[in-house]
Chain A
Amino acid sequence: MKHYRLIWAGVWSDSTRTAYTLVSIFAAFVLFGMLQGITSAFNHAVAQTHLDRLYVDSRFGVAKGLPLAALGKIERVPGVTRVTHSSWFGGSYQDARQPIFALAVDPQSYLDVYSELLLPKDQVAAWLKTRDGVVVSRKIAERYHWKIGDRIPLRSSIWSLKSDGTSVWSFQVVGIFDVQKDRRTLSELLLSYAYFDEARQFKNGTVGWYIAQIADPAGSAQVADAIDAAFANSSDETLTQNEQEKAEAMLKQHGDIDMAIHLIIGAVFFTLLLLTGNTMMQSVRERVPEFAVLKTIGYSTTMISLIVLCEAMVICIGAASLGLLCAWLFYPILQGATDAPRMPAWVLIGGVLIAMLLAIATAIPSTERLRRVNVVDALAGR
């Protein structure tokens, strides 16, 4: 690249304008990196779902719940191998701004179905025999410095205690679970359903939803239909979905995040295209006499166009790379908030490719202008 000095001089022909352009591109690509990271986190969450797990909810919503008696009926549906259930506890620790994703579950069947949760045998045994025992994720235990044996108070936003009418529940930490490598869970705290159901003031004998494990994921639609058919025309009609559909439906509750992110990024890049394109056009327009001199001394239009393209590449790829690097460095902050995996490499590679396309798209109108430069007129200042 022996023309680097010419290219570099072109990039900084108007240093203020170049600096503003660089900052705009940088900011756009920081946003791109971060938002694509969020999208990938959601996609990753959906991709990690088990297709062999069906979620059986009340057709009228999770808040209505399903009777505990429905368990046997689901177990008897052909294709179902195991069934467990969950109920939303809605807890927070110390402060309502410290929510904890807590579920009341049947310990043994739940651990059987959620085999990705790793809990030492002695802690499983302790959980089974301790009625007010809870197991917590390692992440939450480290965050609040909980140890096995600690007694922790949790406030439920839904459930009050039968004994004293308050909503502050006291639990004993009996286990700390890990998650299989490359697997994730939203669960942060699991309490025993038996204790929960006995102690709560209302809706006793119901569960939030059932989770049915099936033998053949390929037949999940048929089994789901069979479960729903078993409860049809009853007071407890069900809506059964596989885990992936359930995860997608949960994400959709917050709006079409994927679409929203793509629209934001699209709008940002469209604006950036206009901004950078206009900057390049202006830069080329101002330097027409310089390009005329280059043509005079033997630079072809193609060569000059390539030099302008390289200038656009330096600006776009340089600023975009810095933006993506910044997004990559600051992504762990977002990662902590969303439990997202590491920023995938494709986000970085894709970002650089987009920057290249941006450079090409912004350089093309400028090179067209160069093609029309009449050397004699340009040298005469016309």
Chain B
Amino acid sequence: MSVAVQLERVAKFYRRGAEKVEILQGIDLDIGAGQFLALMGPSGSGKTTLLNLIGGLDRPSAGCVTVAGERVNELSDLQLTRWRKQHVGFIFQMYNLMPKLTVDANVELPLMLTGLGRKQRASHVAAALAMVGLSDRAKHRPAELSGGQQQRVAIARAIIADPALLVCDEPTGDLDRQTGTGILELLRTLNRELGKTIIMVTHDPVAANFAARRLYVDKGQLLEAAA
């Protein structure tokens, strides 16, 4: 299995006045392509920060982040934006859909930055919505959908541009157990059938069990969980 994500001596700290607040310390991590990885840990342990570094939303204070062969920490803001567009799909706990746009328009957003024509975009959107089981909700607004449905829309938006890496921050954190399980099964399908590399932050051990590999982040350190 080739390496999709590689972190070398990655550290992240903030300065609060004269005080140095360390979030992550000397993280070394390899994540294979097509792996489904769960990041667990208590609140404030640094797992979301780690996810943001891998997803190219944040930069490390020290060390090197390499994703799909690209040294992400060396890219300029604009390069990083373009890189995210091509390589990463994001799924958030609160879905983060555009409230005034319909479901299909929300899903289409990443494709608006490509050179695809209207018909091609529409066909991609239809396929993505079919994959998450929401073909019949294309013209609804997010507020007209349940939480689980909204998260499915967010997943459709995340996969529409066919990124190799999906980063998920508490994707089931706002859902009940049954709905959450449905979302996790969908993520597992994307991992197994489409080969997406998935990195998921979660508090929930049941959710973490859907991942093939589980890591604990505690006080800025990374610990491999027992299988």
Contacts and interface: CB of A to CB of B under 8 A. Distances in A.
A13 B100 CA distance: 7
Interface string A278-310: 000000000001100111111111010000000
Contacts of A376: 52, 57-58
A375 B52 CA distance: 10
A9 interface: yes
Contacts of B96: 289-290, 293, 379
Nearest to A14: B100
A5 B101 CA distance: 7
A227 B52 CA distance: 89
Given A375-B57, A376-B58, A297 B105 contact: no
B175 interface: no
Nearest to A3: B112
Contacts of B52: 376
Nearest to A13: B100
A351 B42 CA distance: 59
A380 B85 CA distance: 20
Interface string B137-170: 0000000000000000000010001000000000
B100 A296 contact: no
Nearest to A293: B96
Nearest to A5: B105
Nearest to B49: A376
Interface string A2-15: 11011001101100
Given A5-B105, A13-B100, A299 B113 contact: yes
A297 B160 CA distance: 11
Nearest to A298: B85
A296 B109 contact: no
Nearest to B56: A296
Contact of A297 (B85, B99, B118): B85
Contact of A9 (B86, B98, B110): B98
Contacts, number: 60
For chain A, which range describes its interface: under 10, 10 to 19, 20 to 34, or 35 or more residues?
20 to 34
A298 B113 contact: yes
A353 B78 CA distance: 32
B217 to A, nearest CB: 16
B36 interface: no
Contacts of A375: 57
Q: Of residues A6, A289, A295, which shows the largest number of chain B Cβ atoms within 10 Å of its Cβ?
A: A6
B78 A300 contact: yes
Given A375-B57, A376-B58, A297 B90 contact: yes
A9 B98 CA distance: 9
A291 B51 CA distance: 20
Nearest to A375: B57
Given A6-B109, A376-B58, A379-B92, A296 B101 contact: no
A3 B114 CA distance: 12
Contacts of B161: 298
A9 B81 contact: no
A297 B157 contact: yes
Contacts of B112: 2-3, 6
Interface in B60-113: 77-78, 81-82, 84-86, 90, 92, 96, 98-101, 105, 109-110, 112-113
B81 A300 contact: yes
Interface of A: 2-3, 5-6, 9-10, 12-13, 289-290, 293-301, 303, 375-376, 379-380
